Amino acid sequence: MSWPFIGETIEFLFGKPECYVLKRMKKYSPDIFKTKILGEKTVAICGPNGHKFLFMNEQKYFTAFRPHSTQRMFTSNKEPAAAQIQQGLEVEGKVLKSLGFLKPEALVRYLGKMEAITRKQMVKYWEGKTDVKAHSLTKIPTLTLACRFFLGTDHPERVARLVRNFDDFTVGCQRHQEGVEGGDSGEGGIASGAPIQDILTHMILAIDPTGKHMPEAEIADKIMCLLVAGYSTVATAIGERPDIYQKVHAEQKEVAATRHGGDLLDWKDINKMKHKWNVVYEVMRPTPPLQFKGLSKRLSLTSPMRVTPFQRVEEYFPEPGKFEPSRYKEIDAFPPFTFVPFGGGPRMCPGKEYARLPILTFACALVI
């Protein structure tokens, strides 16, 4: 189990994680092995069969769990009982799904606004610049969109303050529990007098069957989860392949040819961007943005699932070292539970469709 407290965290996070996992699969078992990550006793459940077992048995053999380093970054800052966590997850799911905030039919109403915000950000931070720090700058429009549609505000100064703090927050979530410093949650605002069109407003006004409102600390936790999840979505998907760019540009020209003047993007345009989304899939394959599924096993062991190594295995992905977006033209051809960039089962990322829109609107603004 390596060093006390620290365990194998350093090798796992700062070395080559895929080598770390594959080495232990070879040494111990190709299906399961024990280690210690972020101060937690950990079980790694490996491969497509492990994915399937985890996704299909969450409420039977597993309960949701936050590592101490992550929990301390949230407003509630306490370790609730497993039953309370599960109840909280169920309530959170109902809140997010009750009005369909993250469903395509709801998101499509915001496409025009998303494109307008993205283009405004591109003009401000990208156009006319000789030196562009692309990775960090992509986070600004992404967080602006998240604040606009989750919090009901896109105030530039507030977003700027959040950008400065969010990298520290995400790093803090991965720190060892003995060395974690508390983090400040970001500010958000409500569009005064406006209809209920954002998740924060709905959370504040929603009541449970007993007539009680959601506690402020719980609202803060859920909003932070949404903002952190959407913060680096675009930055994670950036790649450097001129040949791929040419194909993306050709597709974009086809989409632009069907638009007139100042027309903004609509759902038909998004559905035409198949090659762009295949490129995003291929970028996420070696290192998906969602690395873990933090779950607490009944044996008091944490079960994080690292999906990266299996995206590089020849058995599942022919020529895994080759960047080939066309492999996703027939995505159903992959063996079940091998390609799961957004997770699966009850814990599948609820913002999967939301993530697609900022990425594709950003790609349109960048390519044109």
Annotated binding site for heme: 349
Query: Facing residues of 296 across strands?
Result: 63, 302
Query: Facing residues of 14 across strands?
Result: none
Question: What is the pairing mode between strands 62-64 and 32-37?
Answer: unpaired
Q: Which long-range contacts (CB under 8 A, 24 or more apart) does 290-294 make?
A: 290/341, 290/342, 290/343, 290/349, 293/54, 293/343, 293/347, 294/64, 294/65, 294/66, 294/67, 294/70
Q: What angle do CA 192, 193, 199 make, to 5 degrees?
A: 70
Cα 68 from Cα 143, distance rounded (Å): 26
The values of phi and psi at residue 67, to 5°, are: -55, 155
Give the Å distances, CA to CA, from 147 to 100, 142, 309: 18, 9, 34
**Numbered residues of the known binding site:** 349
CB atoms within 10 A of CB 327: 20
**Is residue 290 a contact partner of residue 339, using CB atoms and an 8 Å limit?**
no
Which residue in the block uniquely carries the two structure tokens 């597709």? 251
